[in-house]
Structure 1
Amino acid sequence: MRRLAALLCLLPVAAAVAGGAAWVTLPGGKFRSALKYEDVQTVKVAPFALQKRPVTNAEFLAFVQAHPQWRRDRVARVLAEPRYLSHWAGPVTLGRAAQPQQPVVHVSWFAAQAYCEAQHARLPTWSEWEYAAAADETRRDARNDRAWRERILAWYAKPSNTVLPRAGLQAPNAYGVQDLHGLVWEWTEDFSALLVDPESRNQGDPDNSKFCGAGALSMDDRDNYAVLMRVAMLSSLQARDTTANLGFRCARDIRK
């Protein structure tokens, strides 16, 4: 009986690993960002593919099993802090606190990027993520809708210690992407470029200037508080950091 129960527990993991996350193609185009890059607020987003939902525990477990250097007991500490995958029962065991279909969290930027590279992909840029996240269920840009903005803000008001629902339960937006709001925060490829402390440029650390001078929040979008919160949160992190509500999804370039 115990053996049967164990086999049943493995079935969702196997299904998730075999199927993986679906991909959605976004057309791209000119987009008014909430960030200004050297006083330019309109950015051009090239067509790209984005995973329909965030990466799950089951999918990341398959990656860790295939790339054991990313196990929590083997990963280099310069690539992930001690909280990395701390909610898993063991280095290659999910357990009750990490259900297979829940989005994976407690994962560093380095680990997220490595996962995407293993899928022949990458993390989305901020502009790509913001472009996709501007859509609601019927409109490609719903940001001027006060009711839609308040619905997103309601999620930010919820306690962060609640149990994460499974990924993929939300209705797809106009592009077919799910869970961009209301589930987890998400890493972006250029997260450290969102807000840069001018003082950090004078400390002689080459890493501090790697993404320097990127952006500042535009006062034209001061009503978009959800974007402000997300930018502030991401820009406060280092690439080895992890949190209990930060996950990711992958993106791919569209080859012409």
Structure 2
Amino acid sequence: MEMEFVSIPAGEFLMGSHKSDKEKDKDETPQHKVIIKNGFSMQKTEVTQGQWVEIMGSNPSYFKECGKDCPVESVSWNDVQEFIRRLNKKTGKNYRLPTEAEWEYAARAGSMTRYPCGDDAGCLDAIAWYGSNSGGTPQPVGKKLPNAWGLYDMIGNVWEWCQDWYGDKYYKKSSSTDPKGPETGSYRVIRGGGWHYSAWLCRSSNRNSNDPSYVGNFLGFRLVLPQVISEGK
């Protein structure tokens, strides 16, 4: 099974929304510095239907007709954990979901604007499938432009599960170094916006969440490895 990854460098960034963003939600503030102490590797695209079938043996996706190169969807956070368990057993590696901080750091790819491509939602058409251009369905991965770090579809196509529990006031008390979310919770973080959502939900700082058992045809994921690996491996 071919799963391509890119190396994400260690560094720091401002996580959350600037106070001047009129579309921000309260849970996106305060904007705060986050340090990603160690580099890691992130999957270039969302996990595809073909990749899921190879590990799990069946395709849960609502949009099966979209094809094997489309993102797998209709998978819960719990389903994803089973996929990761089987994948790690097969490969001997330690794949996992990104933390919320890792996800936003990678999505921004050094940008400080509302979207990875700029402050104007008009730039989204070049990088993302969302409500205005998707045609009402997910699309094959990797067809839009990547961000500055070579990651495709971080914004739009399907929302992506993150590892963290969600906390609406978490930013006010989170660690500045490699934050990993609240210790407990009822919902898991999802990020990135999706194929039938508005542009403002595709902002890099936008936060959302869902029950870890929830299944939706707008919701998928991508993987990370905590160590840096060579591109394409």
TM norm structure 1: 0.61
Deviation of 1:226 (Å): 3.3
Q: Aligned in 2, Cα 1:37/1:28: closer, same or farther, shift over 3 Å?
A: farther
Among 166, 187, 193, the alignment partner of 1:193 is 166
**SS at structure 2 position matched to 1:186:** strand
Q: Aligned in 2, Cα 1:63/1:196: closer, same or farther, shift over 3 Å?
A: farther
CA distance in 1, matches of 2:119, 2:66: 35
The aligned amino acid for 1:179 is: D
Unaligned runs of 5+ in 1: 1-17, 66-70, 73-84, 89-95, 198-207, 216-223
Structure 2 counterpart of 1:33: 15
Deviation of 1:169 (Å): 1.4
CA distance in 1, matches of 2:203, 2:151: 18
CA distance in 1, matches of 2:111, 2:205: 19
Deviation of 1:98 (Å): 4.5
The aligned amino acid for 1:231 is: R
The aligned amino acid for 1:133 is: A
Structure 2 counterpart of 1:172: 146
Maintained 8 Å contact 1:26/1:49: yes
Q: Aligned in 2, Cα 1:229/1:160: closer, same or farther, shift over 3 Å?
A: farther
Structure 2 counterpart of 1:245: 218
Unaligned runs of 5+ in 2: 18-26, 89-93, 171-181, 190-199, 229-233
Deviation of 1:28 (Å): 2.3
CA distance in 2, matches of 1:156, 1:170: 12
Q: Aligned in 2, Cα 1:128/1:169: closer, same or farther, shift over 3 Å?
A: same
Structure 1 counterpart of 2:34: 43
**Equivalent residue runs for 1:1-256 within 5 Å:** 18=1, 20-34=2-16, 41-45=32-36, 46-65=38-57, 85=60, 87=62, 97-117=65-85, 118-119=87-88, 120-135=94-109, 140-143=110-113, 145-147=118-120, 149-152=121-124, 156-158=130-132, 162-190=136-164, 192-195=165-168, 210-211=184-185, 226-227=202-203, 230-232=206-208, 234=209, 237-254=210-227
**SS at structure 1 position matched to 2:149:** coil
**SS at structure 2 position matched to 1:162:** coil
- The structure whose residues are more often helix, as a share, is 1
Deviation of 1:155 (Å): 5.1
**SS at structure 2 position matched to 1:62:** helix
CA distance in 1, matches of 2:29, 2:66: 42
Q: Which has the greater radius of gyration?
A: 1
CA distance in 2, matches of 1:27, 1:86: 33
Q: Aligned in 2, Cα 1:243/1:151: closer, same or farther, shift over 3 Å?
A: farther
Equivalent residues, number: 185
**SS at structure 2 position matched to 1:171:** coil
Deviation of 1:109 (Å): 0.5
Q: Aligned in 2, Cα 1:122/1:115: closer, same or farther, shift over 3 Å?
A: same
The aligned amino acid for 2:216 is: T
**SS at structure 1 position matched to 2:35:** strand
Maintained 8 Å contact 2:138/2:157: yes
TM norm structure 2: 0.66
Q: Aligned in 2, Cα 1:38/1:134: closer, same or farther, shift over 3 Å?
A: closer
**SS at structure 2 position matched to 1:151:** helix
Maintained 8 Å contact 1:194/1:231: no
